[in-house]
Each structure stands twice: as structure tokens, then as C-alpha cells.
Amino acid sequence: MKLACRTWGSAEKPVLLMLHGFMGSGADWDPVAESLCDDFYCLAPDLPGHGATDMTGISQDNAFDETAAAIVNLLAEMDITEAVLLGYSMGGRMGWYTALKYPEWFTGLILESASPGLKTPDERAARLEIDLERAEALRNGNFEAFLEQWYNQPLFRSMARRGEQLASLKKSRLTKSPNSLADALDYFSVARQPGLWDQSRALLIPVLMIVGEFDEKYRGIAGEIAATCLRRANVRIIPQAGHNTHWEAKENFIQAVESFFETELNSTRRPL
């Protein structure tokens, strides 16, 4: 499997590898990357089932392993030996898993509204049932109605304050393949994700957890994981934003990323 990828900036700069969320693509990072590319070499692959990367080569049982390997292979093919990994939501979960599986490739981890997974078999079974129903609705239902329901979830309701931009986002989502998105929703469900709570104690690199002020669920997750599982964790709460902080509050999000590099990563030096 090869991941389609967008790039911004010069390969001589520190590398920032950015993973998008569900229904997105690498292009979702355009506004952020355009602001950061003077100082960083920004890479944004399309994850399987999204953008120009299809689901070929992905198996349901090993989707996380296979995608993590594809991410590292992308870096190797570009002669990149280390990067800071930034992931949003589904991309944050995928990034978290990749950083744990291939720690030698990453000098830092930025998790935007991301979860280390569900804790119990009952939670996973309940969530898988929900995600399989959503996948079925994508395959056989009305895509536009699905989008309305998706963005009406409490996680995303604060996006409605930017009605014109949200309408444009929904319109762009309608160009995606519902069948590919259904497969991605199934294969990369948080219910299928290996739990990362205990494994995260092994992370030695600095971690920044970005969450929105209005995203009560992920504020709680970030606080718990930072207090119990991560050795070098920072939590940044973005004011006046919900789950998708880089879309709702781009400037504050960018400032959080730049501050993390300046204070925790010292630009290019690998932490000891």
C-alpha cells in the first residue's frame, strides 16, 4: 500500500507529518500547512479510504498495523529519518499507534482531539455496533443525510457557528466515495483500535494534547492520559473551539504547535 501525499515547504526544514480525520484528506491541512511551511516541511498523506488513497492492501484485522507501516514507508521513501507526528481525531489515533510501534522515527507527537482507545470489551462491542450501523448507512443510505447527522453530533455542534464554512465543508465531503468511507469507518473504528492506555507509558518523546474548550469528552481524556500514562505530556485547551480545533480556531492551533516546537523540541534536536 502506498499513501498519496501532499507536501509544503522545504525538505531542509524540520518535518511535520500531519494525519487527517475521518472523511477528510491531506488537503484538509492546507490552511495550517500554508501558515507553517516557512518553518517546517509539512507532509499530509491521504489515509486509506480517503482522498487519493484507496483501501487496496488493507485488511480489517490488521488495518492499524498495515497503515502504520505505510506511514513509515512513506517517510523512508522520502529519505526522512525523523519527524514530529501530528494527528487529528481518527488521524490522532492512527498517529498515536504509529509512534508507539515505530518510536525511532518520531521526535514528538501532537494529538488533536485523539483517544487512546476504549478500555473494556463491553465498550468496544457497543461502539463497534454503532460504527457498523453508520458504515451501513453510508453504503446504502443518503450521503447528504449522513453528513447532516454526523456534524450534528455534540462533538461538532460548535462548528455550526461558522455556517457558511460548514456548508462548504459538507459540500466538499459529498465528493468522497461513501463506500470507501464506510470501509474506513469499519476498519479504523475505535472499537477495533488496540488500546493504548498502558502502552503509552513507554513513550519517551514529548507529547502535546490539543483539545477544544467546548469538547468536554476529549478534555477529560486528555487530562486523564496526561496525568496517568504519559511521561512528557502537555495539554493545550483551545478557547472557543470544539472537536476540530484546527478548523474552528486555526490561529490558536498554529500558535500551540509552534510553541510546542520552541519549548519542548528545540526545533530539530531529538530529546535525550
8 A C-beta contact, residue 19 and residue 94: yes
How many other CB atoms sit within 10 Å of the CB of residue 250? 15
The arrangement of strands across the sheet holding 233-238 comes to 5-8, 41-45, 15-19, 83-88, 106-112, 207-212, 233-238
Cα 212 to Cα 253: distance, rounded to the nearest angstrom:
10
Cα 133 to Cα 186: distance, rounded to the nearest angstrom:
9
pLDDT tens digit string along 13-67? 999 999 999 999 999 999 999 999 999 999 999 999 999 999 988 999 999 999 9
19: part of which helix (H) or strand (E)? strand 15-19
Indicate whether 270 pLDDT > 60. Answer: no
State whether the Cα torsion 183-59-118-93 is positive or negative: negative
Cell of 101: 510501534
pLDDT tens digit string along 244-265? 999 999 999 999 999 999 988 7
* Residue 54 to residues 47, 215, 220, 245, Cα–Cα distance (Å): 8, 31, 34, 27
pLDDT tens digit string along 73-124? 999 999 999 999 999 999 999 999 999 999 999 999 999 999 999 999 999 9
Average pLDDT across the chain, whole number: 94
Residues 6+ apart with CB under 8 A from 164: none
Match 531529538 to its residue by C-alpha cell. 270
8 A C-beta contact, residue 148 and residue 127: no
How many other CB atoms sit within 10 Å of the CB of residue 220? 11
pLDDT computed for residue 178 by the predictor: 95
pLDDT computed for residue 207 by the predictor: 95
Cα 76 to Cα 89: distance, rounded to the nearest angstrom:
25
Cα 269 to Cα 265: distance, rounded to the nearest angstrom:
6
Q: Which residues pair with 236 in a beta bridge?
A: 210
- For 171-187, what is the mean pLDDT? 95
- Alpha helices (H) in 79-201, listed in sequence order: 90-101, 121-140, 143-151, 163-173, 178-187
- The DSSP secondary-structure symbol of 194 reads P
90: nearest Cα among 252, 244, 270: 244
Three-state DSSP at 50 gives strand
pLDDT tens digit string along 155-165? 999 999 999 99
Window from 68-72, 81-85, 147-151, 261-265 with minimum mean pLDDT: 261-265
Out of 3.40.640.10, 3.10.20.310, 3.40.50.720, 3.40.50.1820, which CATH number does the structure's domain 5-118+195-265 have?
3.40.50.1820
8 A C-beta contact, residue 99 and residue 199: no
8 A C-beta contact, residue 133 and residue 110: no
